[in-house]
Amino acid sequence: MADPAPFNAAAMLQYIQTLVAGLSGLQQTYIGAPESIATRVNAFVTIGDTTPRPKANQLAQRNPEVMVTFAYRVAGAEQNAELTVCSLVDELTMAVYADRTLGGTSQSAELNMGINREPAYMDIGASEVRRYVVLITGLQTASTP
Amino acid sequence: MPPSSWAAARSASSVRLTQRATVYGEDIASGLYSQVLIRSLRCRLISRNTNNTGLPTFDRAEDMAGRDFWFDPTAYIPEGSQVEVDGIRWQLKAGTFQSLGDCTPPAAKMCMAVRQQVASF
């Protein structure tokens, strides 16, 4: 297992945003959930659970979650949306597994897409989008008083 | 959500189309709304939040940014287009387009519009 990574949620979030922005076919990436989307193929990266727990004397750990939400503006093209999401998910999976330390911001990262069993559509700024969520969970360790 | 009932009930002739809009379609390659479809479209954006029941309880700013978009009844706007009025972009919501009046062309056309986010306020 890699060296412990310190508590730094922003570093993990920003590393994943950079990773996602490099996916082919993606047109726009946001940190934070946008009020509206500018392009057809979008992703936004948000922070999830960061609850810490005592690990040992003067040592705490946590499994910070970063959610990557792919949002494809459907406009009647459900098939294109689904196939594009498939490609993005495959590419992101390989990118995370190529470096599970997430650039040194996590000791070991894991992926979970179990929330997507039902097809999800949502409205963003009056545009209907196909939504697919990838949950990336890291491991960070910190010394405490 | 369909256009608000108060607006739908408004007399079409009472809405003066005093604003001008540029209508944009999507550029397939970039996904951006950058293709100009119509210039100087006569239109009017009318607030949907004019009830007298007290303060609204919406969750986010964009929920307050809904308008009824009335436009020249002789014009055809593809559903899903965007319009720019006074420098602000509005997304026209598919499925909310209505023609009002029992005549051809209709007395008025309208749909729901939602303001699009600017980079920062």
pLDDT in tens, B52-109: 444 555 555 555 688 999 999 999 999 989 999 999 999 999 999 999 877 777 888 9
User: Which ipTM score applies to this complex?
Assistant: 0.79
Tokens standing for residue A90 = 């495959």
Q: Are B43 and B70 in contact (CB under 8 A)?
A: yes
Q: How far apart are CA B68 and CA B14, in angstroms?
A: 14
Average pLDDT per block of 10 residues along chain A, 145 residues long: 88 98 95 93 97 94 98 94 98 97 96 96 93 98 92
Joined together, the tokens standing for residue A93 give 């999976």
For residues B110 and B98, the answer to whether their CB atoms sit within 8 Å is: yes
| Distance between CA atoms of residues B95 and B3, nearest Å | 10
Rounded to an integer, what distance in angstroms lies between the CA atom of residue A135 and that of residue A45? 10
Chain A contacts of B61, Cβ < 8 Å? Answer: 35
Query: Is A130 an 8 Å CB contact of chain B?
Result: no
Let me know the angle formed at the C-alpha of B35 by B30 and B37, rounded to the nearest 5 degrees. Answer: 155
Closest CA to B23 of B44, B40, B6, B47: B40
Q: Shortest CB distance from B93 goes to which of A27, A35, A126?
A: A126
Which of B35, B88, B89, B114 should be substituted to probe chain A, the one whose Cβ sees the most A Cβ atoms within 10 Å?
A: B114
CB–CB contacts below 8 A, A to B: 45
What is the distance between the alpha carbons of residues A140 and A86, in angstroms, rounded to a whole number? 30
Contact A36 B116 (CB under 8 A): yes
A97 torsion bin: left (phi>0), alpha (psi -120 to 50), beta (else): alpha
In chain A, residues 45-84 whose CB comes closer than 8 Å to chain B: 73, 75
How many Cβ atoms from other residues are within 10 Å of residue A45's Cβ? Answer: 25
Give the pLDDT of residue B76.
94
Tokens representing residue B111 in the block: 């749909």
Question: What number of other Cβ atoms are within 10 A of residue B3's Cβ?
Answer: 24
| Predicted model pTM | 0.85
Helix (H) or strand (E) holding B67: strand B66-71
Measure CB to CB from residue A125 to each of B32, B80, B91 and give the nearest one. Answer: B91
Residue A120 touches partner B, C-beta closer than 8 Å: no
3-class state of residue B40 by DSSP: strand
Q: Which of B32, B80, B94 sits opposite A38 (nearest CB)?
A: B32
For A126, nearest residue in chain B (alpha carbons)? B93
